[in-house]
Amino acid sequence: MGIVLIGGEKGGTGKTTLATNMAAMLALQGKDVLLLDTDRQGTASFWATVREETEIEYRIACVQKFGKGLASQVRDLADRYDEIVIDAGGRDSMELRYSLGVCDRAYIPVQPFQFDIWTLRQMDELIEVAQGFNENLQAYIVLNRVSSNPLVREAQETLTFVREEGFQHLGLMDSVLRDRIAFRKSARDGLSVVEWKQDKKAAEEMNHFFREVYGG
Ligand SMILES: Nc1ncnc2c1ncn2[C@@H]1O[C@H](COP(=O)(O)OP(=O)(O)OP(=O)(O)O)[C@@H](O)[C@H]1O
Ligand SMILES: [Mg+2]
Protein backbone atom coordinates (compact mmCIF):
# COMPACT_ATOMS: atom_id res chain seq x y z
CA MET A 1 0.00 0.00 0.00
CA GLY A 2 1.08 3.55 -0.44
CA ILE A 3 0.25 7.20 -0.56
CA VAL A 4 1.16 8.78 -3.86
CA LEU A 5 0.90 12.48 -4.46
CA ILE A 6 0.62 14.17 -7.81
CA GLY A 7 1.45 17.74 -7.10
CA GLY A 8 3.29 20.90 -7.87
CA GLU A 9 2.94 24.61 -7.45
CA LYS A 10 2.25 25.40 -11.06
CA GLY A 11 -1.24 25.33 -12.54
CA GLY A 12 -2.41 23.25 -15.47
CA THR A 13 0.56 20.89 -15.65
CA GLY A 14 -1.51 17.70 -15.67
CA LYS A 15 -1.80 16.86 -11.98
CA THR A 16 -5.47 15.90 -12.13
CA THR A 17 -4.97 14.02 -15.39
CA LEU A 18 -2.24 11.86 -13.88
CA ALA A 19 -4.03 11.40 -10.54
CA THR A 20 -7.32 10.29 -12.08
CA ASN A 21 -5.58 7.92 -14.51
CA MET A 22 -3.52 6.37 -11.70
CA ALA A 23 -6.64 5.89 -9.56
CA ALA A 24 -8.55 4.19 -12.38
CA MET A 25 -5.61 1.93 -13.24
CA LEU A 26 -5.24 0.84 -9.62
CA ALA A 27 -8.97 0.05 -9.52
CA LEU A 28 -8.59 -1.99 -12.73
CA GLN A 29 -5.97 -4.04 -10.91
CA GLY A 30 -8.50 -4.78 -8.19
CA LYS A 31 -6.96 -2.42 -5.68
CA ASP A 32 -9.11 -0.63 -3.17
CA VAL A 33 -8.12 2.91 -4.06
CA LEU A 34 -9.08 6.33 -2.78
CA LEU A 35 -8.68 9.41 -4.92
CA LEU A 36 -8.15 12.35 -2.60
CA ASP A 37 -8.98 15.71 -4.13
CA THR A 38 -7.38 18.55 -2.18
CA ASP A 39 -8.01 21.12 -4.87
CA ARG A 40 -10.95 23.45 -4.29
CA GLN A 41 -11.61 23.50 -8.03
CA GLY A 42 -12.78 19.91 -7.53
CA THR A 43 -11.72 18.67 -10.97
CA ALA A 44 -10.84 15.17 -9.77
CA SER A 45 -14.11 14.90 -7.85
CA PHE A 46 -16.01 15.99 -10.93
CA TRP A 47 -14.27 13.28 -12.95
CA ALA A 48 -15.25 10.67 -10.33
CA THR A 49 -18.85 11.91 -10.40
CA VAL A 50 -19.03 11.66 -14.19
CA ARG A 51 -17.65 8.15 -13.86
CA GLU A 52 -20.25 7.21 -11.30
CA GLU A 53 -23.16 8.76 -13.19
CA THR A 54 -22.15 6.95 -16.38
CA GLU A 55 -21.99 3.75 -14.34
CA ILE A 56 -18.51 2.88 -15.44
CA GLU A 57 -17.28 -0.37 -13.97
CA TYR A 58 -14.86 0.12 -11.10
CA ARG A 59 -16.27 2.98 -9.19
CA ILE A 60 -13.54 5.18 -7.77
CA ALA A 61 -13.99 6.40 -4.22
CA CYS A 62 -13.16 10.08 -4.18
CA VAL A 63 -13.29 12.58 -1.34
CA GLN A 64 -12.37 16.22 -1.05
CA LYS A 65 -10.33 17.35 1.93
CA PHE A 66 -8.84 20.73 2.69
CA GLY A 67 -7.03 22.54 5.41
CA LYS A 68 -5.36 21.81 8.65
CA GLY A 69 -6.62 18.35 9.51
CA LEU A 70 -5.48 16.96 6.17
CA ALA A 71 -2.37 15.11 7.32
CA SER A 72 -4.08 13.21 10.12
CA GLN A 73 -7.08 12.50 7.91
CA VAL A 74 -4.82 11.02 5.26
CA ARG A 75 -3.15 8.80 7.84
CA ASP A 76 -6.56 7.51 8.99
CA LEU A 77 -7.67 6.92 5.42
CA ALA A 78 -4.46 5.05 4.67
CA ASP A 79 -5.61 2.31 7.07
CA ARG A 80 -8.83 1.85 5.15
CA TYR A 81 -7.55 1.72 1.58
CA ASP A 82 -4.87 -0.21 -0.29
CA GLU A 83 -3.75 2.87 -2.16
CA ILE A 84 -4.30 6.59 -1.92
CA VAL A 85 -3.73 8.95 -4.81
CA ILE A 86 -3.70 12.63 -3.88
CA ASP A 87 -4.31 15.40 -6.37
CA ALA A 88 -2.72 18.45 -4.78
CA GLY A 89 -1.57 21.68 -6.22
CA GLY A 90 -1.66 25.39 -6.36
CA ARG A 91 0.80 28.11 -5.49
CA ASP A 92 1.38 28.29 -1.74
CA SER A 93 -1.26 25.68 -1.13
CA MET A 94 -1.37 24.32 2.41
CA GLU A 95 -2.83 21.15 0.98
CA LEU A 96 0.31 20.53 -1.05
CA ARG A 97 2.51 21.08 1.99
CA TYR A 98 0.44 18.87 4.28
CA SER A 99 0.28 16.16 1.63
CA LEU A 100 4.06 16.22 1.20
CA GLY A 101 4.29 15.53 4.92
CA VAL A 102 2.39 12.25 4.72
CA CYS A 103 2.91 10.79 1.27
CA ASP A 104 5.45 8.13 0.27
CA ARG A 105 6.20 9.45 -3.17
CA ALA A 106 5.44 12.67 -5.00
CA TYR A 107 5.31 13.16 -8.76
CA ILE A 108 5.49 16.61 -10.24
CA PRO A 109 4.32 16.99 -13.82
CA VAL A 110 6.27 19.54 -15.84
CA GLN A 111 5.37 20.77 -19.31
CA PRO A 112 8.28 21.68 -21.54
CA PHE A 113 6.51 24.66 -23.10
CA GLN A 114 5.71 26.24 -19.75
CA PHE A 115 8.97 25.09 -18.24
CA ASP A 116 9.96 27.23 -15.36
CA ILE A 117 13.18 26.53 -13.51
CA TRP A 118 12.26 28.93 -10.71
CA THR A 119 9.15 26.95 -9.73
CA LEU A 120 11.19 23.75 -9.76
CA ARG A 121 13.79 25.28 -7.48
CA GLN A 122 10.94 26.16 -5.13
CA MET A 123 9.71 22.58 -5.33
CA ASP A 124 13.18 21.25 -4.64
CA GLU A 125 13.29 23.36 -1.46
CA LEU A 126 9.79 22.36 -0.48
CA ILE A 127 10.72 18.68 -0.80
CA GLU A 128 13.83 19.26 1.29
CA VAL A 129 11.70 20.77 4.08
CA ALA A 130 9.14 17.95 3.83
CA GLN A 131 11.91 15.33 4.02
CA GLY A 132 12.90 16.89 7.34
CA PHE A 133 9.86 15.29 8.95
CA ASN A 134 8.90 12.73 6.29
CA GLU A 135 12.25 10.98 5.92
CA ASN A 136 11.27 8.42 3.31
CA LEU A 137 9.63 10.87 0.95
CA GLN A 138 10.84 10.61 -2.62
CA ALA A 139 9.95 13.11 -5.31
CA TYR A 140 10.23 12.98 -9.08
CA ILE A 141 9.64 15.18 -12.07
CA VAL A 142 7.64 13.70 -14.92
CA LEU A 143 7.45 15.42 -18.29
CA ASN A 144 3.91 15.85 -19.56
CA ARG A 145 2.38 17.20 -22.76
CA VAL A 146 5.61 16.81 -24.66
CA SER A 147 5.10 17.46 -28.37
CA SER A 148 4.22 14.28 -30.23
CA ASN A 149 6.14 15.63 -33.21
CA PRO A 150 9.49 13.80 -33.16
CA LEU A 151 11.16 16.82 -34.77
CA VAL A 152 10.43 18.92 -31.72
CA ARG A 153 13.22 18.09 -29.32
CA GLU A 154 11.72 19.82 -26.32
CA ALA A 155 11.77 16.72 -24.10
CA GLN A 156 15.53 16.32 -24.48
CA GLU A 157 16.12 20.03 -24.02
CA THR A 158 14.04 20.12 -20.85
CA LEU A 159 15.73 17.03 -19.44
CA THR A 160 19.14 18.56 -20.11
CA PHE A 161 18.09 21.74 -18.30
CA VAL A 162 16.84 19.77 -15.33
CA ARG A 163 20.00 17.64 -15.15
CA GLU A 164 22.25 20.68 -15.38
CA GLU A 165 20.35 22.35 -12.58
CA GLY A 166 21.23 19.35 -10.42
CA PHE A 167 18.23 19.33 -8.10
CA GLN A 168 19.14 17.60 -4.87
CA HIS A 169 15.71 16.37 -3.92
CA LEU A 170 13.99 15.80 -7.25
CA GLY A 171 14.51 12.69 -9.33
CA LEU A 172 13.57 12.36 -12.99
CA MET A 173 11.12 9.80 -14.34
CA ASP A 174 11.99 7.83 -17.47
CA SER A 175 8.37 8.03 -18.55
CA VAL A 176 7.37 10.86 -20.81
CA LEU A 177 3.73 11.65 -21.55
CA ARG A 178 3.03 13.36 -24.82
CA ASP A 179 0.46 15.92 -25.80
CA ARG A 180 -2.45 13.79 -26.99
CA ILE A 181 -6.13 14.65 -27.34
CA ALA A 182 -6.90 11.23 -25.86
CA PHE A 183 -5.94 12.51 -22.41
CA ARG A 184 -8.57 15.24 -22.64
CA LYS A 185 -11.30 13.16 -24.26
CA SER A 186 -11.00 10.21 -21.90
CA ALA A 187 -11.12 12.52 -18.87
CA ARG A 188 -14.28 14.15 -20.16
CA ASP A 189 -15.95 10.71 -20.14
CA GLY A 190 -14.76 9.90 -16.61
CA LEU A 191 -12.32 7.32 -17.94
CA SER A 192 -8.62 6.66 -17.81
CA VAL A 193 -6.92 6.74 -21.18
CA VAL A 194 -6.36 2.98 -20.82
CA GLU A 195 -10.10 2.30 -20.52
CA TRP A 196 -10.93 4.73 -23.32
CA LYS A 197 -9.15 2.38 -25.76
CA GLN A 198 -9.02 4.78 -28.72
CA ASP A 199 -5.39 5.79 -28.56
CA LYS A 200 -2.88 3.01 -28.06
CA LYS A 201 0.10 5.32 -27.78
CA ALA A 202 -1.52 7.38 -25.04
CA ALA A 203 -2.44 4.18 -23.18
CA GLU A 204 1.12 2.85 -23.56
CA GLU A 205 2.58 6.06 -22.16
CA MET A 206 0.25 6.01 -19.17
CA ASN A 207 0.98 2.31 -18.60
CA HIS A 208 4.69 3.03 -18.65
CA PHE A 209 4.30 5.78 -16.11
CA PHE A 210 2.06 3.56 -13.97
CA ARG A 211 4.63 0.75 -13.93
CA GLU A 212 7.35 3.20 -13.01
CA VAL A 213 5.26 4.44 -10.09
CA TYR A 214 3.87 1.14 -8.83
CA GLY A 215 6.33 -1.39 -10.20
CA GLY A 216 5.43 -4.55 -12.13
N1 LIG B 1 -0.64 14.68 -21.90
C2 LIG B 1 -1.66 15.50 -22.19
N3 LIG B 1 -2.07 15.66 -23.46
C4 LIG B 1 -3.10 16.50 -23.75
N5 LIG B 1 -3.77 17.22 -22.87
C6 LIG B 1 -3.40 17.10 -21.58
C7 LIG B 1 -2.34 16.24 -21.16
N8 LIG B 1 -2.21 16.35 -19.81
C9 LIG B 1 -3.14 17.23 -19.43
N10 LIG B 1 -3.85 17.70 -20.47
C11 LIG B 1 -4.93 18.71 -20.46
O12 LIG B 1 -4.40 19.92 -19.94
C13 LIG B 1 -5.36 20.57 -19.12
C14 LIG B 1 -4.76 20.73 -17.72
O15 LIG B 1 -4.55 19.43 -17.17
P16 LIG B 1 -4.96 19.09 -15.67
O17 LIG B 1 -6.32 19.60 -15.36
O18 LIG B 1 -4.70 17.65 -15.47
O19 LIG B 1 -3.85 19.96 -14.95
P20 LIG B 1 -3.76 20.37 -13.42
O21 LIG B 1 -2.32 20.45 -13.11
O22 LIG B 1 -4.60 19.46 -12.58
O23 LIG B 1 -4.42 21.82 -13.45
P24 LIG B 1 -4.84 22.72 -12.19
O25 LIG B 1 -3.57 23.35 -11.70
O26 LIG B 1 -5.81 23.71 -12.76
O27 LIG B 1 -5.45 21.80 -11.17
C28 LIG B 1 -6.61 19.70 -19.14
O29 LIG B 1 -7.47 20.19 -20.13
C30 LIG B 1 -6.09 18.34 -19.54
O31 LIG B 1 -7.05 17.55 -20.19
MG1 LIG C 1 -6.12 19.89 -11.22
Give, as one character, the DSSP assignment of residue 108: E
Range of the structural domain that residue 171 is part of = 2-214
Q: Residue 13 C-alpha to ligand 1 middle, in angstroms?
A: 6
Q: Residue 22 C-alpha to ligand 1 middle, in angstroms?
A: 14
What gap in Å lies between CA 216 and CA 214, rounded to an integer? 7
Q: Residue 87 C-alpha to ligand 2 middle, in angstroms?
A: 7
pLDDT at 1: 66
- What is 45-110 written as a DSSP string? HHHHHHHHHTT-SS--EEEE--STTHHHHHHHHHHH-SEEEEE---TT-HHHHHHHHH-SEEEEEE
What gap in Å lies between CA 50 and CA 7, rounded to an integer? 23
- Closest C-alpha to ligand 1, atom 25: 11
Pocket lining: 145 vs ligand 1, CB cutoff 6 Å: yes
What gap in Å lies between CA 133 and CA 114, rounded to an integer? 31
* Confidence (pTM): 0.97
Mean per-residue pLDDT for 106-132? Answer: 93
The CATH number given to whatever domain includes residue 57 is 3.40.50.300
Q: Residue 14 C-alpha to ligand 2 middle, in angstroms?
A: 7
Q: What is the number of domains present in the chain?
A: 1
Q: Find the helix or strand (DSSP H, E) in which 214 lies.
A: helix 200-214
Q: Which of the listed residues 10, 13, 15, 17 should we mutate to test ligand 1's pocket, taking the one with most ligand atoms within 8 A of CB?
A: 17
pLDDT at 54: 96
Percent of the chain with pLDDT over 70: 100
Q: Which ligand is nearest to the CA of 20?
A: 1
- Closest C-alpha to ligand 1, atom 13: 12
pLDDT tens string 140-170: 999 999 999 988 888 888 999 899 999 999 9
